[in-house]
Amino acid sequence: FRGTDAERLLDKLFTKDITRVKPGRCAYGLACYEDGGLLVDGILLRLEPDLFWYAQADGDFYSWARAHAAGMDVEISDPQVFVSQVQGPNSLKILEAASDNGMPEPFGYFGLARVSFGGQQVVITRTGYTNELGWEYYTEPHHDADARWSHLKAAGDPFGMEFFGLDTMHIRRNEAGILNAGSDFDHTTTPYDVGLGRFVDADKGDFIGRQALLDAPRDSRLTGLKCAAEPHISGEVSINGKPVGKVTAGAISPYLEQGIGIALMDRSGFGEGDVVTIR
């Protein structure tokens, strides 16, 4: 999103007050439909006063943004940037080793910086999908991805860094209670339904879905699950044979050494200790 109206458009599209996000910072961005149903979530990066990137989850946010940008001075495009991450207790030590100029300062939570990895300038953010200490890096079309990969591997080897795909992050995000767009929430759920109400700035002025969210129930219908086996995604959750919800995510937790998951209940009011049957 580039242009003098980029901030104004994004503040209209997102439930958070985007005007408070300064250059060099990130924000967790939720976008809703007019009825308050969730469209997508992701990380919004403010690289410059009039330049933003949105690292989004699945959802047709591009077309949605284009439709609402009519008459505004803003260019919306896909820069073909791909995000990867380094997560874990040693992640900042690996960043310091990989950066040609040492640790960027400041680089607090949800910070943004440009660093040099083996002579290549790379955008990084203090974010992740695991709830661990960590950071993410953004591969642009002009980067030599193979050389940068080798550079990060050499920096991470002394700290025991290993390479994994999304399956590993899926387990860790289940343990952390981090939600996935399109499965843990969708257009039928409001931010309040899934415990994301703290990311709604209802008093910031007009944004898409504001009136519906002002009128929406505030109680969350999302809950965590613990069970002996791995919960079956989309499986029924029931009490005494009566359906009360469905499983939206499941995994075997190495930390808890048992099955864990997330369930969207038909209503709020279920609490810790309620015993249910889970497929």
pLDDT, tens only, 47-68: 999 999 999 998 899 999 999 9
Q: Tell me whether residue 36 is exposed, middle or buried, using C-beta atoms within 10 angstroms of its C-beta: 0 to 12, 13 to 18, 19 or more.
A: buried
Tokens of 100: 């040609």
pLDDT at 271 over 80: no
Say what the pTM is.
Answer: 0.93
pLDDT, residue 103, reads 95
End-to-end CA distance of the chain: 43
pLDDT at 270 over 90: no
Average pLDDT, the chain: 95
Return the bridge partners of 64, or none: none
CA-wise closest residue to 95 among 122, 56, 62 = 122
pLDDT at 200 over 90: yes
pLDDT, residue 166, reads 87
pLDDT in tens, 135-175: 999 999 999 999 999 999 999 999 999 999 888 899 999 99
> Could you write out the DSSP letters of every residue in 104-129?
-SS--TTBEEEEEETTEEEEEES--S
Section 95-113 average pLDDT: 96
Section 266-277 average pLDDT: 86
CA distance 107 to 2: 24
